[in-house]
A and B are shown apart, each in its own frame.
Chain A
Amino acid sequence: MRLLPEDDRRSGRAVGSPTLAPHLELDGVSFAGSSLLSGPLPDGAERLRDLQSVTDAALSHLDPQALLDALVDRVKDALEADTAAVLLLDREHGQLVATAANGLEEEVRQGVRIPLGRGFAGRVAAERRPVIIDQVDHTNVLNPILLAKGVRSLIGAPLLADGEVIGVLHVGTLSPRRFTSQDADLLQLAADRAALAVQSLTSQLDRASAAALQRSLVPSALPPVNGLQMAARYVPGSGSIGGDWYDVFTLPSGELCAVIGDVAGSGLKAAVIMGRLRSALRAYALETTDPADVLDRLDIKIRHFEPDAMATVLYAVFDHSLDQVRISSAGHLPPIIARQGQPAVVAEVANDILLGVAALKPRQVTTLSFPPGALLCLYTDGLVESRNRPIDDGIARLCAAITAGEPDVACASVMGAMAEDALPADDIALLMLRRQPAGLAEAGRLPDRAGEL
Chain B
Amino acid sequence: MTEQGLDVTWSGRHAIVTMPAEIDLINAGSLGDQLSAVVSESPDAVTVDMTATTFCDSAGIRALVRAHEQAAGSGAELRLAVGDSPVRRIIQLTGLDQILPIYHDVRQSLTTPRARPASNQESSM
Contact = CB atoms under 8 A, between A and B. Distances in A.
Contacts of A357: 65, 69, 95, 99
B38 interface: no
A115 interface: no
B114 interface: no
Interface in B58-115: 58-59, 61-62, 65, 69, 86, 89-90, 92-96, 98-99
Given A310-B62, A358-B125, A351 B55 contact: no
B86 A354 contact: no
| Range of interface residues on B (Cβ < 8 Å) | 20 to 34
B83 to A, nearest CB: 13
A390 interface: yes
A265 interface: yes
A390 B86 contact: yes
A70 to B, nearest CB: 30
Contacts of B96: 331, 353-354
B124 interface: yes
A39 B93 CA distance: 66
| Range of interface residues on A (Cβ < 8 Å) | 20 to 34
B57 interface: yes
Contact of B65 (A310, A334, A426): A310
Contacts of A353: 94-96, 98-99
Contacts of B44: none
A359 B96 CA distance: 10
Interface string A321-336: 0000000001111100
A262 B22 CA distance: 20
B54 A387 contact: yes
A125 B86 CA distance: 42
B6 interface: no
Contacts of A391: 86, 89-90, 93
A144 to B, nearest CB: 35
Given A266-B25, A390-B89, A354 B1 contact: no
A381 interface: yes
Contacts, number: 77
B57 A381 contact: yes
Contacts of B86: 389-391
Contact of B95 (A264, A352, A381): A352
Contacts of B58: 262, 264-265, 310, 312, 381
Contacts of A312: 58, 94
A421 to B, nearest CB: 14
A163 interface: yes
Contacts of B11: none
Nearest to B58: A264
Residue of B54, B55, B96 most packed against chain A (CB within 10 A):
B55
A162 B29 CA distance: 15
Contact of A387 (B1, B22, B25, B98): B22
A352 B69 CA distance: 17
Contacts of A360: 98-99, 123-124
17 contacts: A265-B25, A265-B59, A265-B62, A303-B125, A310-B62, A312-B58, A333-B93, A334-B93, A352-B98, A353-B98, A354-B95, A358-B123, A358-B124, A358-B125, A360-B98, A390-B89, A391-B86
Interface of B: 1, 22, 25, 54-55, 57-59, 61-62, 65, 69, 86, 89-90, 92-96, 98-99, 123-125
